[in-house]
Amino acid sequence: MIKLKDILKEVGDKQLYYHVSPTNYNVGDIIKPYFDSDKYSIGDSSAPTRKAVETILNKAKPSNQSSRDKSIFIFKTLPDAKQYAKDMGGRFIYLVSSSISISWHDMNWIDVLFGKAAGWGGGLPATLKDIPLDSLKELQRFAGYYWQGKSASDLTTRYAYSSPKWEGMTKNSVKVIKKVK
């Protein structure tokens, strides 16, 4: 059993966060960025729409931000990590240590982008070519809010987000301190 004093000694001046992954890591493993939007799936047929959303996000990304496919995603709180693991069909949750070079983004914007983009598919997964230009501009504005770290609950009235779901992104590797679930 790992003791808190051993964890704190191991971490030093790094911060502790939670990482959710389908991969079964061991304590001490180093997790490098691995996200690939071309392979990202939660077991449904929405991959073209997800790819469209990732393309919109990448085009809106400021040059000083790490791209999503070259980042590790982390959470500040265990409840947020547990909810995400549940939403993704049950995944492993790890306590990880990381340097402080982390940018924070409200995951609700991903839901907003996906929901609006999916609406243009006519019952099928939507691609970028399915989205009218005026709607695409709105999606690009929302993607900008994501990168700026703005809360969707503060800026949207059509979507019922009572609170932000903050995901942290770092281009650095993280170290597994403890397997939580």
pLDDT digits (tens, 9 = 90+) for 74-103: 998 999 999 989 988 889 999 999 876 788
Place of tokens 């049950």: 90
pTM of the model: 0.80
Instruction: Please name the residue ranges forming H helices in the chain.
Output: 4-11, 47-60, 78-87, 108-118, 133-148, 152-155
Say what the pLDDT of residue 160 is: 60
Say what the pLDDT of residue 145 is: 94
- Asked if residues 145 and 109 have their Cβ atoms less than 8 Å apart, the reply is yes
The segments of the chain whose pLDDT lies below 70 read 1-14, 35-45, 100, 121-125, 156-161
Say what the pLDDT of residue 152 is: 87
| Residue 123 zone, left/alpha/beta (φ > 0; ψ -120 to 50; rest) | left
Say what the pLDDT of residue 127 is: 76
Q: List the structure tokens of 38.
A: 């071309």
Say what the pLDDT of residue 178 is: 93
